[in-house]
Amino acid sequence: MDTELSEISTFIHSIPPFDSLPKQVLAHLVRELTINYVRKDDYLPPKGINEPRLYILRKGAISCRSADGELVSRLGEGDLCDAFYHTETNAQSNSQTATTSQLQVHTDEDCLIYSVEATVLQDIGGRFPSISDYFSQNSAQRLKNKMTQVNEEAILSSTLMNTAVSNFYQSPVASISTNQTIQQAAMQMNEQGYSCLVVVEDDNPVGIVTDKDIRRRCVATGLATSAAISEIMTRDMCTIDAKSNAYDALMMMTAKHIHHLPVTKNDELVGMVTVTDLINNEGHNAINLSSIIHKANTLTELKEISQLLPKLQIRLAKLGSSADHVGKSISAITMAFTKRLIEMAEYKYGQAPVPYAWLAAGSQARQEQLAHSDQDNAIIICNSMKPYDDAWFESLATFVCDGLAECGFIYCPGDIMATNPKWRKPQKIWQNYFTDWVETPCPKALLNSCVFFDLETIYGDVALLNKVRKQLLIKTQNSTLFIAHLTKNALNLRPPLGFFRDFVLKQNGKHRATLDLKHNGIAPVVDLARIYALSEGISAVNTIERIQQAAGTPSLTRGSAENLIDAFEFLGMLRVEHQAKELMRGETADNYLSPKEISKLEREHLKDAFKVIKSLQDARQSSY
């Protein structure tokens, strides 16, 4: 009698979490089902049903609206509706998630609906926790569990991401005083077996010296080994906080092309981490790629290397890397390309007439770039520049932007590039720009200039941008009008809650419905994070860092921050996987996801992610 009710069983078995049930339990569950036919423009629960039940949509479409009539979700074939599953509203549910008891569930079409009593599922849940977990959680919790699982996969394939630098650094740091000689330094390196020493003055680290410096700056130049070590040390030393993850350390070293990185704890030097320490733990070749870029001498060579970028992205995606990991790797490599091009330009046109910095804007600045996205860049120049100096900067900008375009980073469609004279200005003009945007926030100008609130120095004098940023953040924190305008703009992009339903409706038509992951999912989170950062004076640019730092401030509760990061990571992961598939087929990577590409479970999670984003957008809207 195995064909009995087989179609219903097969259907139920295809829906998470029931896909995890053994056959016998499934058969029992199917026996407990009730089938209802609910006509169009009616409401759930069907007449005569009062007890709590879970509804499973077999055919048709329903929409759930909150008490004030706003659409919360639209469900189609194979979707679960738990609006009437819990008898009482959960007193602990936070205000950002709608209480389900107030939902109005309306049939948009004739519906064939299966349902099962909550008590039956609770019985099954007693033996199969995957069932009870699924229905005891709200969407944010389900997403959280999903992301924990994803991270576990990532840990297996890449330990660096989830390991703090503190697990890798060597301590204590070998140090040497500024007034000691080069020869003493070389002897100390030999004795202790280090290739790198931190130079200290009155216990304060002031620089770093490596065996390579002795070779290049002393022996090769004929400098006396009796000269002070301070002569050959590198002064502007990068450091990393011990709490940072090891992957960030690796990326920092990749981008700056250095092999040693001093580690600090509360601004005090505690150790040193080397590339070798890290690379032994990491299989991928971002470092290699970066060092080949550094050695390239011609544009043709760079162009060849750039063709490896999609391959790296595929590889990272296959390793199960998180979107954060992929974004940081690709951004670090783009940074290496840009730096190499600038070095080539400086070689070609001579040294810059005045100090300057090359800035990356948008996704590269946020370290969320994927292979061959468009370039957004700008130049900030020291106020001492004379009008005729601009010729040099124009040459630089043209050389670098053209070079990046050759390497597959297409020109910015909005002309946000250093070649545009508007975005190649001295520090004081940049300061005026920001002041104008903040003080007279015309919505349209804001939309165009939003990209400049995410800026990072790629090359040159870091202090130029830092000063502008510091003043900007003081202004934005105190300008509610500006934040209100920014919020209004940001809320133009809403996650499409009816997306799945629309897709089902259009499945027989010519138009293949897709989801724009970038504009409908990722951008709204990036926008929210920017608003939190600007209202709370947070200087971080990376979206996850911004959310982490905003957590616990008046802008964002800790719980919401965690949910938002989970949603962002999940959307990012979908994008990375989607693009990897396209790149493997030799297609251009885009952001348009077809629901057919993803599993039913992923669709559930995607819906959960949208709900989290929407609830925080709503919270934001109501605060202005």
**Could you count the other beta carbons within 10 Å of the beta carbon of residue 374?**
18
How long is the chain?
624
Q: Which stretch binds another protein (CB under 8 A): 1-9, 137-145, 253-261, 398-406?
A: 1-9
268 bridge partner residues: 265
Among 22, 23, 37, 179, binds another protein (CB under 8 A): 37
59 contacts 111 by C-beta, under 8 angstroms: yes
Residue 465 CB, nearest approach to another protein (Å): 59
**Could you count the other beta carbons within 10 Å of the beta carbon of residue 228?**
16
142 contacts 602 by C-beta, under 8 angstroms: no
Residue 30 CB, nearest approach to another protein (Å): 6
Among 36, 138, 306, 419, binds another protein (CB under 8 A): 36
Interface with another protein, residue 35, by CB under 8 A: yes
- CA 86 to centroid of chain Cα atoms: 35
Interface with another protein, residue 135, by CB under 8 A: no
Interaction mask 54-83, another protein, x per CB under 8 A: ----xx------------------------
Interaction mask 87-126, another protein, x per CB under 8 A: -----------------------x-x--------------
Would strands 377-381 and 424-426 be described as parallel, antiparallel, or unpaired?
Answer: parallel
Q: Which residues, including other chains, have CB under 8 Å from residue 304's CB and lie 6 or more apart?
A: none
Residue 212's nearest CA partner among 223, 196, 228, 190 is 196
Residue 33 CB, nearest approach to another protein (Å): 5
Q: Which stretch binds another protein (CB under 8 A): 2-10, 255-263, 547-555, 571-579?
A: 2-10
Given the complex with another protein, which of 36 and 487 has the nearer CB atom? 36
Given the complex with another protein, which of 13 and 488 has the nearer CB atom? 13
Interface with another protein, residue 39, by CB under 8 A: yes
Among 1, 68, 386, 511, binds another protein (CB under 8 A): 1
Q: Which residues of 181-197 are buried (b: 16+ CB within 10 A; e: fewer)?
A: bbebbbebbeeeebbbb
Provide the angle, in degrees to the nearest 10, between the axes of the packed helices 323-349 and 246-256.
20
Among 14, 22, 23, 34, binds another protein (CB under 8 A): 34
Interface with another protein, residue 4, by CB under 8 A: yes
Q: Which residues of 548-573 are buried (b: 16+ CB within 10 A; e: fewer)?
A: bbbbeeebbbeebbbbbbbbbbbbbb
Q: Give me the amino acid identity at 410.
A: I
Residue 29 CB, nearest approach to another protein (Å): 10
Q: Which stretch binds another protein (CB under 8 A): 37-45, 84-92, 162-170, 463-471?
A: 37-45
Given the complex with another protein, which of 120 and 200 has the nearer CB atom? 120
Q: Which stretch binds another protein (CB under 8 A): 44-52, 182-190, 576-584, 603-611?
A: 44-52
Among 21, 38, 72, 531, binds another protein (CB under 8 A): 38
Cα separation, 399 vs 573, in Å, equals 34
Residue 35 CB, nearest approach to another protein (Å): 5
Among 19, 32, 123, 301, binds another protein (CB under 8 A): 32
Residue whose tokens read 């390579």? 212
Q: Which stretch binds another protein (CB under 8 A): 29-37, 129-137, 258-266, 574-582?
A: 29-37
Interface with another protein, residue 33, by CB under 8 A: yes
Question: Judged by CB under 8 A, how many residues of this single chain contact another protein?
Answer: 27
Given the complex with another protein, which of 35 and 219 has the nearer CB atom? 35
Q: Residue 329 — φ and ψ, nearest 5°?
A: -65, -50
- CA 48 to centroid of chain Cα atoms: 48
367 contacts 328 by C-beta, under 8 angstroms: yes
Interface with another protein, residue 11, by CB under 8 A: yes
Cα separation, 389 vs 421, in Å, equals 13
Query: Edge-to-edge strands of the sheet including 268-274?
Result: 240-241, 260-265, 268-274
Given the complex with another protein, which of 107 and 560 has the nearer CB atom? 107
441 contacts 485 by C-beta, under 8 angstroms: yes
Residue 328 CB, nearest approach to another protein (Å): 46
- One DSSP character per residue, 258-273 reads -SEEEEEETTEEEEEE
Residue 107's nearest CA partner among 64, 55, 154, 159 is 64
Interface with another protein, residue 506, by CB under 8 A: no
Interaction mask 208-247, another protein, x per CB under 8 A: ----------------------------------------
- CA 460 to centroid of chain Cα atoms: 25
Q: Which residues, including other chains, have CB under 8 Å from residue 496's CB and lie 6 or more apart?
A: 502, 515, 520, 610
Interface with another protein, residue 46, by CB under 8 A: yes
Q: Which stretch binds another protein (CB under 8 A): 3-11, 152-160, 241-249, 443-451?
A: 3-11
Q: Give me the amino acid identity at 356.
A: Y
Interface with another protein, residue 156, by CB under 8 A: no
Interface with another protein, residue 6, by CB under 8 A: yes
Given the complex with another protein, which of 37 and 624 has the nearer CB atom? 37
Report the greatest alpha carbon distance in the chain.
97
Given the complex with another protein, which of 28 and 467 has the nearer CB atom? 28
Residue 37 CB, nearest approach to another protein (Å): 4
Given the complex with another protein, which of 112 and 292 has the nearer CB atom? 112
Q: Which stretch binds another protein (CB under 8 A): 26-34, 156-164, 189-197, 275-283?
A: 26-34
Please report, for residues 399, 400, 420, the alpha-carbon distance to residue 392 in angstroms, rounded to integers and kept in the order given.
11, 12, 14
Q: Which residues, including other chains, have CB under 8 Å from residue 528's CB and lie 6 or more apart?
A: 490, 547, 564, 613, 616, 617, 620
Given the complex with another protein, which of 36 and 313 has the nearer CB atom? 36
Among 14, 23, 31, 594, binds another protein (CB under 8 A): 31
Cα separation, 139 vs 89, in Å, equals 15
418: burial class by Cβ within 10 Å (0-12, 13-18, 19+)? buried
Residue 94 CB, nearest approach to another protein (Å): 36
Positive or negative torsion for Cα 331, 332, 335, 341: negative
Residue 519 CB, nearest approach to another protein (Å): 32
Residue 7 CB, nearest approach to another protein (Å): 6
Residue 9 CB, nearest approach to another protein (Å): 11
CA-based radius of gyration for the chain:
28
Given the complex with another protein, which of 35 and 584 has the nearer CB atom? 35
Q: Which residue ranges make up the site for another protein (CB under 8 A)? A: 1, 3-8, 11, 30-40, 46-49, 58-59, 110, 112
